[in-house]
């Protein structure tokens, strides 16, 4: 999901729905992760130049919009945890909202603005990373399954669909499949693949500048450089229990579109072009696993649940720091489960 099937959002705040569902104790435990996400967005700012590629990076900020005064109070509660981690959160009145996003439904009463948020195009960013890695000597084996891993004194033997691959080190960056890969060595992590889906509309005139969220329901919404609206928010897709394949859930499409139209009624005439389902990796605490697994020398985890596209650059750097014996690019005590 993080590589290419996601919608390209770059997040830097506590997810509102999970804050409400899981409570302040969960938020207090998760909040330190925001520092990693902010640093990762800082890396995203430099990567187009470094990789010599345009993948439509923008950092125009995120707007969390409220329809009721109760939602505003919850946003203000959440902002306290975010500010404690150095995240800038500006509380907006109705007048502020009108100035910043005049297209928003006039029933909305206010919200919050996070200037560090934005987006990039994963369909352009992922090939750019792959090309740069290949220039540095990386080899890719596409459509190749890892079926078993054996670990011994001489390192690892990975039994794959193209034969046995020997390695001194293994980095488990398998996303929703990371739990299954770790289990090959008897390592148990509570990593689950969640089926979700994203919608994209036809092209429209420029309207939405920011990454939008709705405090009243699950929603992320932004407008791509090409003009289409990308609409998501973690709505579930459907898994075929016999084949494991995903399909679009019509109820999720309707509910997601309702949330979008609640914010921007003028989108009612914009046609939906397609919806695609994908698995995203998730854990209950939403905290990443970054580094060597204790008791399994040479076996590293690089798993960032739910928002791996945002955190990908910094997560990769932190794991590389550990493999190469470098000083960590940031202190991840209290952030990574493995530290």
Give the tens place of pLDDT for each residue, 214-227: 999 999 999 999 99
CA-closest candidate to residue 159, choices 176, 138, 144, 179: 144
| 210 secondary structure, DSSP code | S
Give the tens place of pLDDT for each residue, 147-170: 999 998 889 999 999 999 999 999
pLDDT (mean) for 40-67: 97
| Spatial CB neighbours of 70, under 8 Å, sequence gap ≥ 6 | none
What pLDDT does 339 receive? 86
| Spatial CB neighbours of 84, under 8 Å, sequence gap ≥ 6 | 31
Count Cα atoms within 13 angstroms, Cβ side, for 306. 21
Percent of residues in the chain assigned helix, strand, coil, to nearest 5:
35, 25, 40
Q: Assess if CATH 3.30.420.40 describes domain 9-124+196-235+248-264.
A: no
For β-strands 238-239 and 299-303, DSSP reports them as unpaired
Taking CA 70 as the corner, what is the angle to CA 67 and CA 72, rounded to the nearest 5 degrees?
65
Average pLDDT in the chain: 96
Predicted TM-score (pTM) of this structure: 0.94
- Long-range Cβ pairs for the range 45-48 (8 Å, 24+): 47/125, 47/128, 47/313
Q: 315 with 43: CB under 8 angstroms? A: no
Cα 215 to chain center, whole Å? 19
| Spatial CB neighbours of 46, under 8 Å, sequence gap ≥ 6 | none
What pLDDT does 1 receive? 53
Burial pattern 130-153, b for ≥16 Cβ within 10 A else e, equals: eeeeeeeeeeeeeeeebeebebee
pLDDT (mean) for 103-129: 96
pLDDT (mean) for 313-320: 98
pLDDT at residue 2 tops 70: no
Give the tens place of pLDDT for each residue, 80-105: 999 999 999 999 999 999 999 999 99
Domain definitions of the chain by residue range: 9-124+196-235+248-264
């Amino acid at each position: 999901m993080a590589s290419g099937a996601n919608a390209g959002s770059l997040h830097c705040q506590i997810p509102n729905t999970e804050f409400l569902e899981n409570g302040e104790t969960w938020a207090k435990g998760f909040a330190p992760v925001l520092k990693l996400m902010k640093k990762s967005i800082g890396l995203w700012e430099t990567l187009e130049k470094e990789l010599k590629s345009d993948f439509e990076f923008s950092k125009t900020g995120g707007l969390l919009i409220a329809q009721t005064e109760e939602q505003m109070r919850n946003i203000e509660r959440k902002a306290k945890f975010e500010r404690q981690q150095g995240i800038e959160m500006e509380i907006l009145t109705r007048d502020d909202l009108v100035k910043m996003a005049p297209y928003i439904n006039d029933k909305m009463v206010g919200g919050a603005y996070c200037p560090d948020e934005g987006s990039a195009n994963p369909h352009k960013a992922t090939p750019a990373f792959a090309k740069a890695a290949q220039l540095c000597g990386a080899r890719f084996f596409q459509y190749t399954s890892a079926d078993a891993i054996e670990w011994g004194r001489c390192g690892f033997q990975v039994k794959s669909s193209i034969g046995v691959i020997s390695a001194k080190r293994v980095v488990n960056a398998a996303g929703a499949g990371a739990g299954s890969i770790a289990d090959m060595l008897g390592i148990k992590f509570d990593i689950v693949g969640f089926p979700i889906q994203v919608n994209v509309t036809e092209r429209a005139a420029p309207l939405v500048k920011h990454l939008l969220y709705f405090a009243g329901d699950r929603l992320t919404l932004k407008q791509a450089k090409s003009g289409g609206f990308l609409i998501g928010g973690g709505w579930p897709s459907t898994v075929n229990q016999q084949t494991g394949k995903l399909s679009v859930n019509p109820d999720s499409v309707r509910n997601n579109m309702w949330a979008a139209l609640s914010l921007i009624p003028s989108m009612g005439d914009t046609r939906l072009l397609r919806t695609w389902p994908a698995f995203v990796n998730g854990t209950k605490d939403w905290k990443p696993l970054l580094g060597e697994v204790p008791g399994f020398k040479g076996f590293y985890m690089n798993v960032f649940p739910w928002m791996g596209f945002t955190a990908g650059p910094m997560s990769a750097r932190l794991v590389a720091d550990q493999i190469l014996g470098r000083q960590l690019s940031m202190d991840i005590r209290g952030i990574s489960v493995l530290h």
